[in-house]
């Protein structure tokens, strides 16, 4: 049985094999995205020319170390393909992301890309989103009022559960963009679109980790090999 690291490596390698010469690439965050960066770096050493835009300081540092060329989203505002991991994926390719705290930049980069290719091991595939606590990025100003408002709008659509401030040791976790993260344990989110709208109605919410209608394809690594999931046609 392959361990989690081996499955992440398989997924990362399968995604790196999809990268074409000259592509403008969004590069995600997390251990699976890092496996992709390692596999991509090998292709770059072999002569592949690409330009990356990273979704976190952590991924930027890895790309620098492995000599994968990067630039800013300002310099390259339209990308061909973004490759990123996820915390949960459902059959409609709706995602929960943000376990690594990079959800805001990840969503901006994914939205600026023609395609979002998600790489996960099979443990991330779920029937209903929500077992993984939903990360919600909030402004530090008025955080208690924002927390209460989130609870209220969530309760309005029948969702309840612990909502806790993410910590980094003794201190609050601070995102690359200087915000805080609340992790909301709703358990099951049967209607992610309704929750997305509700969360966006709260002024202190900067972004949330529900990625809806963004993923074009999922590479799923399991003991039996690589499977791909396509987004069902709309309508
Ligand atoms: C970071 C993310 C990651 O993609 C997600 O947490 C999955 O991470 P990993 O590949 O380490 O399991 O959304 O914000």
Domain ranges of the chain: 4-126+212-230, 134-208
Residue nearest to atom 7 of ligand 1 (CA): 86
Residue-wise pLDDT for 181-222, tens only, equals: 999 999 999 999 999 999 999 999 999 999 999 999 999 999
Show the tokens assigned to 120.
């996960």
pLDDT of residue 235: 58
- Percent of the chain at pLDDT > 90 equals 97
Ligand 1 atom closest to Cα of residue 85: 4
Distance (angstroms) between ligand 1 centre and the Cα of 161 equals: 22
The closest alpha carbon to 105, from 35, 166, 177, belongs to 177
pLDDT of residue 153: 98
Distance (angstroms) between ligand 1 centre and the Cα of 101 equals: 8
pLDDT at 23 over 70: yes
> Where does 4-126+212-230 sit in CATH, by number?
3.40.50.1360
pLDDT of residue 176: 98
pLDDT of residue 204: 98
For residue 46, name the pLDDT band (cuts at 50, 70, 90).
very high
Distance (angstroms) between ligand 1 centre and the Cα of 29 equals: 6
Number of neighbours of residue 54 by Cβ within 10 angstroms = 28
List, chain by chain if needed, residues with CB within 6 Å of any ligand 1 atom: 28-33, 84-87, 97-103, 106
The mean pLDDT value for 134-150 works out to 98
> Where does 134-208 sit in CATH, by number?
3.30.70.260
The mean pLDDT value for 140-147 works out to 98
pLDDT at 127 over 70: yes
């Amino acid at each position: 049985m392959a361990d989690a690291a081996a499955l992440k490596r398989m997924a990362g390698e399968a995604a790196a094999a999809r990268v074409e010469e000259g592509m403008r690439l969004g590069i995600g965050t997390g251990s699976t995205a890092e496996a992709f960066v390692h596999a991509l770096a090998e292709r770059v050493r072999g002569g592949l020319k690409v330009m990356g835009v990273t979704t976190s300081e952590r991924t930027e540092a890895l790309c620098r170390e492995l000599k994968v060329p990067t630039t800013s989203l300002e310099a390259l505002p339209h990308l061909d393909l973004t490759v990123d991991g996820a915390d949960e994926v459902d059959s409609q390719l709706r995602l929960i992301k943000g376990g690594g705290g990079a959800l805001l930049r990840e969503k901006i980069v994914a939205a600026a890309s023609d395609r979002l290719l998600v790489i996960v091991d099979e443990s991330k595939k779920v029937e209903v989103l929500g077992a993984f606590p939903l990360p919600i990025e909030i402004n530090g100003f008025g955080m208690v009022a924002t927390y209460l408002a989130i609870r209220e709008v969530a309760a309005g659509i029948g969702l309840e559960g612990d909502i806790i401030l993410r910590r980094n040791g003794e201190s609050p976790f601070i995102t690359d963009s200087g915000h805080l993260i609340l992790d909301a344990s709703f358990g099951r989110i049967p209607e992610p679109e309704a929750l997305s709208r509700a969360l966006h109605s709260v002024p202190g919410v900067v972004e949330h980790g529900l990625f809806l209608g963004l993923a074009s394809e999922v590479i799923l690594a399991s003991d039996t090999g690589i499977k791909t999931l396509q987004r069902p046609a709309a309508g």
